[in-house]
Amino acid sequence: MGPNRELIDKALALAPTDLLIGGEWGPAASGKRLPVVNPATEEVLAEVAAGGRAEGRAAIDAAAAVAKSWARTPPRQRADILRRAFELITARAEEFAALITLEMGKPLADALGEVRYGAEFFRWYAEEAARAFGRTAVSPEGGLDIITVRRPVGPCLLITPWNFPLAMATRKIGPALAAGCVCVLKPASLTPLSALAVGRVLVEAGAPAGVVAVVPAESSAALCGPILADPALRKLSFTGSTPVGQALLAEAAPGVLRTSMELGGCAPFIVFADADLDVAVAAAVAAKTRSNGEACNAANTFYVHESLAEAFAKRLAERFRALSVGDGLAPGVELGPLVSDRQRRDVADLVEAARADGAEVLTGGDAPAGAGFFYNPTVLGRVPPGAAILSAEIFGPVAPVTSFATADEALARANAVDVGLAGYVHTRDLKLIQRCVRELEVGMIAVNTGPISNAAAPFGGVKRSGLGREGGPEGLEEYLETIYVGLPT
Ligand code: NAD
């Protein structure tokens, strides 16, 4: 049975193909359009308007014009808009999921998980909108009341990647709007449709004109340059690769912008000698195949104690071999295509380099013939320390397994990278878990489980994986200033 045509039509109907600026949908002044390709079929799904410098300027001007009135809107009113947006997405969850699958490739069930996770940021921040509390204190020497009040940071530029085209948008827009900030969203050029559909939902939910702009671009730098240089802009929130994040931090420096940076990862998945192998293998499959392996918090490198390494790799290979690979909209498919041919080439190059480094290909290691950017699920055994694949962000369904002798060695090797987003630890030894929590240089730790993303949890990294946190009460802080009021008594 092939993909469901009716579902495809309904999904595509969710997404406008023009730019949302100042509450109006319209084309780019240049008339430029950007083709959006289905990575499972290589067919063009839609052509969306592609903004440039003029649209960047128009979007920040329209946002700045309503920044003060939006900041003054009662928190409950802002919350109601977010709550309605949550309900609108949830009511059409399957269509939103199909839209994600169509433009990005992850299987429908996985995409449905993204829709639920993504919509939850609107519900969570609808609940948090009324909780932007300040504090009071008395100065230690007396004579002065110290009072803090919270204010929205101001107009924000939000830049999102292609791997979670809906959830990365809602994870930023939710707290921004809850805090009273206006925003311009620049979605990834490969996957603008889900973000445009989120823009439409927010308009339908009652977001006033100008409060949210959604502007796909052909050249991100051309569109974002004038926005980043505009004195009205107060914050940049970026999710994407570390090199682009570094360049944007430099671009944000002259304006001394508040920045939130959710950057690349290279998550260690450590299986200690006493681990429950069934639990570890199941968690490995989940943490590696979610979003087709294209997740910043995907398990990247499997460090397995030498007493278990062969058994773990063999069982993981059996599970990977049994995965059903295909168009994510087809029933039963567990792994879809990679997002682009370039992404597939990058993954294939890493596997070839690992082979040359002496790794053993236990399953996969190649791409199936035919249309679509598919890459077969791959397990590499006996990967020698020092192989490049162990310290590269793979971003595909490839699991390199390497063995270690001691906890000291595992932690030292896991920490020997310049990024630190997520880490996975498998052991029944509480003291060892506590040691990992103290010593693993990552921002998030999953203990005896697979992915742990949750709208109520602070998502983010250390080292070159970024600055700040998204989700939970911490996510709201990113969009708030603290103003201190001194009142002599
Ligand atoms: P990318 O850095 O290539 O692009 C991210 C976004 O930045 C896109 O919208 C892109 O168009 C835009 N962009 C690129 N150059 C720009 C410029 N000069 N000015 C303004 N915008 C620019 O990343 P990607 O390939 O879309 O996404 C994959 C990366 O994202 C991976 O490294 C992954 O780890 C990371 N990621 C991180 C998180 C997190 O929360 N830490 C979540 C998802 C993805």
- Return the number of other C-beta atoms located less than 10 Å from residue 188's C-beta: 25
Which 8-state DSSP code applies to residue 73? S
94 is annotated as an active-site residue: no
Of the candidates 58, 167, 37, the one whose C-alpha atom is nearest the C-alpha of residue 113 is 167
Report how far residue 219's alpha carbon sits from residue 197's, in angstroms, rounded to the nearest whole number: 21
Instruction: Identify the residue whose C-alpha is closest to ligand 1 atom 22.
Output: 220
Q: Say yes or no: CB of residue 224 within 6 Å of ligand 1.
A: yes
Ligand 1 atom closest to Cα of residue 262: 41
Q: 468 C-alpha vs ligand 1 centroid, how far in Å?
A: 16
CATH topology of domain 267-454: Aldehyde Dehydrogenase; Chain A, domain 2 (3.40.309)
Using most ligand atoms within 8 A of CB, pick from 244, 291, 346 the residue to mutate for ligand 1: 244
Instruction: Identify the residue whose C-alpha is closest to ligand 1 atom 18.
Output: 221
- Return the number of other C-beta atoms located less than 10 Å from residue 412's C-beta: 12
Of the candidates 319, 310, 383, the one whose C-alpha atom is nearest the C-alpha of residue 351 is 383
Of the candidates 193, 128, 138, 115, the one whose C-alpha atom is nearest the C-alpha of residue 160 is 193
Ligand 1 atom closest to Cα of residue 217: 11
Ligand 1 atom closest to Cα of residue 162: 26
- For residues 426 and 272, the answer to whether their CB atoms sit within 8 Å is yes
Q: Say yes or no: CB of residue 244 within 6 Å of ligand 1.
A: yes
Which 8-state DSSP code applies to residue 445? E
- For residues 362 and 413, the answer to whether their CB atoms sit within 8 Å is no
224 is annotated as an active-site residue: no
pLDDT of residue 120: 98
Q: Say yes or no: CB of residue 239 within 6 Å of ligand 1.
A: yes
pLDDT of the chain, 489 residues: tens digit per residue: 556 899 999 999 999 999 999 999 999 999 999 999 999 999 999 999 999 999 999 999 999 999 999 999 999 999 999 999 999 999 999 999 999 999 999 999 999 999 999 999 999 999 999 999 999 999 999 999 999 999 999 999 999 999 999 999 999 999 999 999 999 999 999 999 999 999 999 999 999 999 999 999 999 999 999 999 999 999 999 999 999 999 999 999 999 999 999 999 999 999 999 999 999 999 999 999 999 999 999 999 999 999 999 999 999 999 999 999 999 999 999 999 999 999 999 999 999 999 999 999 999 999 999 999 999 999 999 999 999 999 999 999 999 999 999 999 999 999 999 999 999 999 999 999 999 999 999 999 999 999 899 999 999 999 999 999 999 999 999 999 999 999 999
Ligand 1 atom closest to Cα of residue 242: 32
pTM above 0.85, yes or no: yes
Beta bridge partners of 49: 33
CATH topology of domain 5-263+465-488: Aldehyde Dehydrogenase; Chain A, domain 1 (3.40.605)
Instruction: Identify the residue whose C-alpha is closest to ligand 1 atom 28.
Output: 240
Instruction: Identify the residue whose C-alpha is closest to ligand 1 atom 23.
Output: 240
pLDDT of residue 253: 98
Instruction: Identify the residue whose C-alpha is closest to ligand 1 atom 40.
Output: 262
Ligand 1 atom closest to Cα of residue 160: 9
Q: 391 C-alpha vs ligand 1 centroid, how far in Å?
A: 19
- Considering Cα of 353, then 355, then 361, then 364, what sign does the dihedral take? positive
- Return the number of other C-beta atoms located less than 10 Å from residue 69's C-beta: 12
Query: Angle formed by the axes of helices 220-229 and 242-252, to 10°?
Result: 30
Instruction: Identify the residue whose C-alpha is closest to ligand 1 atom 8.
Output: 188
**150 φ, ψ to 5°?**
-105, 135
**46 φ, ψ to 5°?**
-165, 165
Using most ligand atoms within 8 A of CB, pick from 168, 184, 219, 241 the residue to mutate for ligand 1: 241
pLDDT of residue 272: 98
* Beta-carbon contacts of residue 74 (< 8 Å; ≥ 6 apart): none
Q: 243 C-alpha vs ligand 1 centroid, how far in Å?
A: 9
Q: Say yes or no: CB of residue 188 within 6 Å of ligand 1.
A: yes
Pull the structure tokens for residue 432: 């060892």
- Return the number of other C-beta atoms located less than 10 Å from residue 387's C-beta: 22
Q: 40 C-alpha vs ligand 1 centroid, how far in Å?
A: 21
Q: Say yes or no: CB of residue 240 within 6 Å of ligand 1.
A: yes
**Domain locations in the chain?**
5-263+465-488, 267-454
- For residues 244 and 238, the answer to whether their CB atoms sit within 8 Å is yes
Q: Say yes or no: CB of residue 227 within 6 Å of ligand 1.
A: no
Instruction: Identify the residue whose C-alpha is closest to ligand 1 atom 17.
Output: 221
Q: Which amino acid is at 420?
A: G
- Locus of tokens 């948090």: 128
Ligand 1 atom closest to Cα of residue 161: 26
Q: 241 C-alpha vs ligand 1 centroid, how far in Å?
A: 5
- For residues 316 and 279, the answer to whether their CB atoms sit within 8 Å is no
Query: Nearest-5° angle of CA 354, CA 360, CA 366?
Result: 70
Q: How many residues does the chain have?
A: 489
Q: Which of 120, 262, 470, 478 is catalytic?
A: 262
